[in-house]
Structure 1
Amino acid sequence: MESSKIEILLEKYFEGQTNSSEENELRNYFSSPNVVPHLEQYKPLFGYFAVAKKEEFKPNIQLQSKRLRVTWLSIAASVVVLLGIGTYVYFNTYTNQNQDLGTYTDPEIAFKETQKALALLSNQVNIGIESVRYVEEYQHSKNLIFKP
C-alpha cells in the first residue's frame, strides 16, 4: 500500500505537480532504511537533499587592499614612462649622429649631384603635366559635346 502511494507521489514529483508536504513525505521515505527494493534507485536523489541541507558556505576570499593595487599601478606607469623616454632619446640622438646629410666638400661634385636631383624632379613634374593634358583634352571634348 505504502509503495503504491510513494510510486504515485514519485510520478507527480517528476511531472512537477507535487506540493511541499508531498515532497517532504518523499524525502522522509527515502531517508528511512525500509525502502522497497525496486525504488532503491531514487534513494540517492532524495538523500542528496538531506546532505545538501547540512552544507554551509564558508567564504575563503582574501581581499586585496586598494593601496597595494595602486602601488603596482604606479610602478607599471613609471616603467612605461621611462621606456617611452628611453626610446625617444635613443632614436633621436643615435640616429641623427649616424645620418649622412649629403654634404659635399668639392663644389663640382655638389653641382653635379644638384643637377641630377633637379633632373629627377623635372621628370616627375613632366609626368604630372602629361596627366593634366589628358584632363584638359577630356574637358575640351566634353565641352564640344555638351555645349555650356
Structure 2
Amino acid sequence: MGFGEITELDTEDCWRILSATELGRIAASAGDSIDIFPVNFAVDDHAIVFRTAPGTKLLELAINDRVAFEVDGHDEATAWSVVVKGRAERVERQSDMDAAEELGLRPWIPTLKYRWVRIEPTEVTGRRFARGPEPERF
C-alpha cells in the first residue's frame, strides 16, 4: 500500500460524521496558552452545540472566541478526522437555550452544566485514512 490512502472529505461527509459522533475536543486559547477540552456535543443546523459549567473553558472563550473543534474515529479498515474552525459564542437568549434543550444533550458526568455554547463554523475539513500495517522501512 506504500504511503497509504488519504481521502479528503467533502463538507456534507464531514457533517454526517459530526452528526453521528457524541464526543469531540475543543481547542481554545487565552494569551500564550492553548487548552484542549473533551466535550460531548450535538449538531444543530450546521453548528456545534455543547453544555458546560463556569470555569477555564468559558473564561478562555470570553477572551478569545476563535476555536478549533475536532472529532475522530475508526473502524477496522478506515480512520477519519473532522476539524471545525470557527467562533464560539455563549447561548444567551432564552428561546435559543430552550431550542438547545430540545437537542437532548446531557452531561456524561454527574455535574450541573447550565451554560450553552454554540460554535459557528468558518471552515469544516475532514480526511479519511485507509488503515493497514506499517510499510517496510528498509
By the TM > 0.5 criterion, same fold?
A: no
**TM-score, normalization by structure 2:** 0.17
Larger Rg: 1
Q: Which has the higher contact order (CA 8 A, sep 6+)?
A: 2
Structure with the larger helix share: 1
Taking structure 1 as the reference length, what is the TM-score of the superposition? 0.16
